[in-house]
Structure 1
Amino acid sequence: MRFEVSKVFDAIEQRLSTDPAAARAVIDLAEVVRYVDLDGGRPASMLRLGMVIDALGRQLAEENVPVHVVVHKGLLSDADLTSNERMVARRWADDGLVEVLPNPADRVLEVADLLGLPVLSRTRFDALAGRYPWLTGQPGRLMAPLPGAGGPVLAARVGTAPAPTYADPSPVGARLLGRLWRCPDPECSSFGSMRIGRPSGQPPPTLRTGAPTCPRHDERLTDRGPRPPAEVLAVRIGGVVRQRFVVAGDQPVTVGRAPEQAGGIMLGQWLSEEARRWISRNHARFELHGTELVVQDVSTNGMGIRPGGSMDDDERITLKRQTRALGPADFVELYPGVHVGRARNWSSGGVVNPASVMAEAPTMTFRTVDR
């Protein structure tokens, strides 16, 4: 059972991101771990985070949905968690996959406000509705994870939104996200010089009296210059959005059957046998040149560009060992039905039952709760 639980935590870890370009919702871990009615188990369990992530994926109809998780510092020593869970939470914090703070409630709403993301929480935040009008004015921005017949579901706290909704980053958020920031503590997992992960993927700063501040260390941040531009792309296979990924000025990305480069996007697990034979291990390389998204064919068999999203084969542009800038609605066709394009152009994931991070969880985690 311990091995199974560890595999679940590994799967959950793949869905954690403080990268503003990647995250799809904001969660307070200290709250979620105590949703006992989701499984009828222990007073606190980190497996419930996986259950809520699965609920988000189902209601967005999308695979591999990442979340921005905020953690109360006290959770790292909470005796209601197992020693393994506390160790995992500390590892996530050290790797910058989650934010650890003394008082996360305000930070959850601040991140959601700055980035235009929904919050997954049962807390109503009535006292903060004046500061964050979208809590009561935008259905789908505050979604409560609740027990459901086939697993947890997300219910809108305002209105009748069937799924989480999104907004543009706030004006303040847009300004903050346009810059890179540095914490005086070099080991700061969010803004330190030793930060793990994409350099320009740091979370938004918090604001203290209008000054950008490190939310963990409460130290004023220094401006390190413009943040490299980034584009969120999506892989769509057979009409289903399987994965989103970020291409930035400091991070080109290779897509293929099984890319050799670190950070490459592997498609093999979703491909038919014929598609696997056609698509190369390294098939397409995506880069940002300034704000221009460029794709380079690095494959054996070549690929196509669908200009403006057109499926007219007469308009399809073939690339073979060539490079081309992509227009706003263009997408790349690696093989018929295997597409890569800007995520904003594909609003629905199309997945009825997305892959679950809880697939390896012990069955006791899903006990039915008598009511």
Structure 2
Amino acid sequence: MSARFRFTIAATDGAARTGGIEMRRGTIATPAFMPVGTAATVKAMKPADVRATGADIILGNTYHLMLRPGAERVARLGGLHAMMGWERPILTDSGGYQVMSLSALTKQSEQGVSFASHVDGSRHMLAPERSMEIQRLLGSDVVMAFDECTPWPATHEQAERSMERSMRWAARSRAAFDAGGDHAAGAALFGIQQGSTFADLRQRSADALTEIGFDGYAVGGLAVGEGQAEMLRTLDFAAAMLPATSPRYLMGVGKPDDIVAAVERGIDMFDCVLPTRSGRNGQAFTWDGPLNIRNARFAEDREPLDPGSPVAGWSRAYLHHLVRSGEMLGAMLMTEHNLWFYQEVMRGLREAIRAGRLSGWAEAFRARYRVRLPVPA
């Protein structure tokens, strides 16, 4: 592990764990939710307000930042932290998923992925070595290995080929990261498990990553269209295959009920655009389930979204008006509420694990949130 990265587990409850990740820019309480700051900004939020919701770490996106303003420019401006005014840890993804999902013209090879920018059509090559270089220029605290995101659905043969390439890229990512000098000494590198929904491939991937050695391990290739039930069935075996002494990160997840179920299965870290994207589009997450504030029934509702919310000073009726009118303040307040709610869910999970009552907490959460999920295997 990096000299400036330490993961501790303070308590467990079944497969769930709570603890912290100590890094040079601060401690991340786990289980943790990372707001997504794709283009060096958590949309509709100032950094201090993101921190005030309870976020210990945010996520930046290698693909978007390499295209604009450019990783070299970010480095000249002092790095991502200085440029955006966020002093705590930042995790950057590798860019692999966006290359394959956003670019119209891609060509994959053993070297990497050649693609056309979705911004201006310019051609680029993203390979493990370039991904590590970009994340180093950004000054990321947690760097993600470059991988191939296996599409859904995939046959066993397709998933196997994709997973094996990702493992070869993981080894190249490790070597390129370690050559990063001072940045490597102060940052952490996470490997990404692949294998789609096949247990044997997930095990082979976990074994390969463990042999290479990483500070943390992500479960990749889920939340790509397989549905919640299949995702949770895969997590029933995939999470436990990863080292118990390292943090486990489920990429791109998810809805509050997804997160609760994944924590029950041993996941420690999450990210998702849902709280910010949904907020901008008029959906609020609450303990009683999601609310579409655009609905006419809120037009004269004087109650807040939640009495404890940082936007409790404004009524649902006012938020309804702002969102329906397309006012910028509506997106800002709805986003702030959603990020706060996600952090409240994480806080509740951590407290329940410490108290040894996660099962009861999760059951009560689901009953009020009105969802029924399969229990962990």
Q: State the TM-score, normalized to the length of structure 2.
A: 0.26
Q: State the TM-score, normalized to the length of structure 1.
A: 0.27
Write 1 or 2 for the structure with the bigger share of strand.
Answer: 1
Write 1 or 2 for the structure with the bigger share of helix.
Answer: 2
